[in-house]
Amino acid sequence: MDKKKYFLQVFRKAEKKYGKYEKRLAGEGWGADWKTLISTIMSAQSRDDTTIRIAEDLFRKYENLKKLAEAKYSNVLKIFRSLNYNRTKAKNVISAANFILSEFNGEIPDSIDELVRIPGVGRKTANLVITECHGKDGITVDTHVHRIANVLELVKTKNPTETEFALMKIVPKSYWSKINRIFVLWGKDVPGKDKGKLLKRLNV
């Protein structure tokens, strides 16, 4: 199988179906790079709608990185009470704010290597930030992207990092930053590991 050709064939159909969806994902539409990064840290293993609502509450109380860096853990935890892994995330967002201020003078870096130094930031968040905030090429792999790429047999990988690097080998660079949104919307629409159901939803 020519995986590059197969990816393009499937992705174009997925983009045709889901490209016009207006649903907002957790890392989109914040208007400030630091908010994009913090909300993405918050989004792991949590629903987008829940993350967005809680992030809005957080940013209403802490209007900038300095205020968030000075926040009391107990106060952030109170805002995060209905967020999965709330204790770890409350600790991470305060630490991240402090780290960005001390190491990067309050600016959000545009390289993966520097971003993953920030507390709570892994490759998924780092890729989302470089694509969403800096317009760079990156493949953001969450559970949906990892699952769909494997179910479609585009890759045969054990974790999201392996999936990211495997997709880099078969996906044209101009498509890298488009994968996450389309595959996430598709993945939310069709759960599970049934290849037939996934493709049927696209009328492939």
* Catalytic positions: 124
CB atoms within 10 A of CB 23: 12
> Are 190 and 197 within 8 A, CB to CB?
yes
Evaluated on CA atoms 178, 179, 180, 184, the torsion sign reads positive
What is the largest distance, in Å, between two alpha-carbon atoms of the chain?
54
Residue 172 CB-density burial (10 A; 0-12 exposed, 13-18 middle, 19+ buried): exposed
| Tokens matching residue 194 | 């049934």
Residue 107 main-chain phi, psi, to 5 deg: -95, 145
| Tokens matching residue 110 | 């545009």
Q: Is 35 helix (H, G, I), strand (E, B) or coil?
A: helix
Which helix or strand (DSSP H or E) is residue 41 part of?
Answer: helix 33-43
Which helix or strand (DSSP H or E) is residue 191 part of?
Answer: none
Which residue reads 């208007």 in tokens?
31
Residue 178 main-chain phi, psi, to 5 deg: -90, -20
